[in-house]
Structure 1
Amino acid sequence: MTLALDSAAQDLLFREARTANTFTDEPVTDGQVQAIYDLVKYAPTAFNQQPLRVVLVRSAEARERLVGHMAEGNRPKTATAPLVAILAADNEFHEELPTQFPHFPQAKDVFFGERPVREKSAALNASLQVGYFIIGIRAAGLAAGPMTGFDADGINKEFFPEGDHSVLAVVNIGKPGTDAWFPRSPRLTYDEVVTTV
């Protein structure tokens, strides 16, 4: 059975795509990031909520603040990547839900109450959006270096002091540089993952 996506696109997004650990110094523009977001914003989430928030770290001062919270092995590549994005969940995402969308009454009952319910939903759905964002970076012909090795509390205090956002990932973005790839790790086979009941 064939896929609707042609083989070249499958390679670009999945088979040949890798997590980059080095990058060239070619800049990543705001226009490229907007094109990425404008593509992936349509991907599905529960209730069509959009809890993902993206902070582009462009200034030297902000980069230095971020690097100080990264795990030791992630510091050099975060310091030198053309662009770094902090991807976070907005735990008050419900304030942005459009009142005219079909599920608003049900969503209002679920999300406008206790914050722990919102935090759980924000974490799950923003994590989905993180995955979409990475695929969008690849679709733009760029490489992504997603990382979770960092002091989350430190980043939250540094970049989200109001307490309404929770960092999920930090992603280096750019054109892959020299020796950008680690050896590909094995993947589970279809039969190891899929069962039928």
Structure 2
Amino acid sequence: MTNSLDQQALDTLFFSARTQNGWLPGDMSDEVLKKLYDLAKMGPTSANCSPARFVFVKGPAAKERLKPALSSGNLEKTMAAPVTVIAAYDGEFYEKLPELFPHADARSWFTSSPAAAEETAFRNGTLQAAYLILAARALGLDTGPMSGFDKAKVDAEFFAGTTWKSNFLINLGHGDPSKVFDRLPRLDFDDACRILGE
């Protein structure tokens, strides 16, 4: 890969993109959600482990199931968003490794170490959820990622009897520009980075 994106694409993904706090009315088709996942899944993960699991919560009945787990500050905007994604990860992701990483016995790397499996699932699942945010922006959608919810309630409601665990939520749709907060500052390079030479 040698070609860099133009400024318009960079604006779409980073500079002009914002975390949304309000949503315009509308629906989102299953086809759009499938296209979104098919783009996000192409990002790299350790040994192609792909532990992220996504539950697209849309429609009044599904949103009502999620409602009791939401913090008061996130309640109104989440109920108004066309879709809320439960970004989760599968603690037993390694069961798919014979398919996803067939040239080595990668499954045994994790079945022998529950701690390594959990760390790998959480790290790479979080990474894949970030890819989903960028994929949504690339497709012209707005996102509102958030942590303000009761994970235990979400896991009990949506993942009981499974090996999936919730990580964070992402509201998805077309944002209401009047509800966007002013952009907050970011750390300068010298505050956040070090370059180590020879």
Determine if the TM-score, normalized by the shorter chain, exceeds 0.5: yes
Report the more deviating stretch, 78-87 or 5-14: 78-87
The answer (yes or no) to whether the contact 1:51–1:91 under 8 Å persists in 2 is yes
Q: What is the CA-CA distance between 1:104 and the residue it aligns to?
A: 2.9
The C-alpha deviation readout for 1:15-59, integer Å capped at 9, x for no partner, is: 000001111112121111111111121111100111111111124
Q: What is the CA-CA distance between 1:178 and the residue it aligns to?
A: 4.3
Instruction: Name the CA distance, whole Å, in 1 between partners of 2:157 and 2:16.
Output: 35
The answer (yes or no) to whether the contact 2:143–2:170 under 8 Å persists in 1 is yes
Instruction: Name the CA distance, whole Å, in 2 between partners of 1:11 and 1:59.
Output: 31
* CA spacing shift, 1:180–1:100, aligned 2, 3 Å: closer
SS of 2:132's partner is helix
What's the TM-score, normalizing by structure 1? 0.92
Q: Which runs of 4+ in 1 moved over 6 A?
A: none
Instruction: Name the CA distance, whole Å, in 1 between partners of 2:99 and 2:136.
Output: 31
The answer (yes or no) to whether the contact 2:91–2:165 under 8 Å persists in 1 is yes
* CA spacing shift, 1:4–1:178, aligned 2, 3 Å: closer
Q: 1:97 matched to which residue of 2?
A: 97
Q: 2:133 matched to which residue of 1?
A: 134
Matched residues, percent identical? 38
Q: What is the CA-CA distance between 1:109 and the residue it aligns to?
A: 2.5
SS of 2:20's partner is coil
Structure 1 residue 110 and structure 2 residue 109: aligned? yes
Q: What is the CA-CA distance between 1:136 and the residue it aligns to?
A: 0.6
Paired residue type of 2:157: E
Paired residue type of 1:48: N
Instruction: Name the CA distance, whole Å, in 2 between partners of 1:103 and 1:59.
Output: 42
Paired residue type of 1:119: E
The answer (yes or no) to whether the contact 1:156–1:163 under 8 Å persists in 2 is no
* CA spacing shift, 1:23–1:46, aligned 2, 3 Å: same
The answer (yes or no) to whether the contact 2:49–2:100 under 8 Å persists in 1 is no
- Give the RMSD, CA atoms, in angstroms: 1.7
Q: What is the CA-CA distance between 1:103 and the residue it aligns to?
A: 5.0
SS of 2:12's partner is helix
SS of 1:98's partner is helix
Paired residue type of 1:192: D
SS of 1:104's partner is coil
Instruction: Name the CA distance, whole Å, in 2 between partners of 1:65 and 1:112.
Output: 33
Instruction: Name the CA distance, whole Å, in 1 between partners of 2:100 and 2:114.
Output: 23
Paired residue type of 1:44: P
Q: What is the CA-CA distance between 1:102 and the residue it aligns to?
A: 5.4
Q: 1:58 matched to which residue of 2?
A: 58
What's the TM-score, normalizing by structure 2? 0.92
Q: 2:183 matched to which residue of 1?
A: 184
Structure 1 residue 73 and structure 2 residue 69: aligned? no
SS of 2:69's partner is coil
Unpaired segments ≥5 residues, structure 1: none
Q: What is the CA-CA distance between 1:100 and the residue it aligns to?
A: 7.1
Count of paired positions = 195
Q: What is the CA-CA distance between 1:173 and the residue it aligns to?
A: 0.5
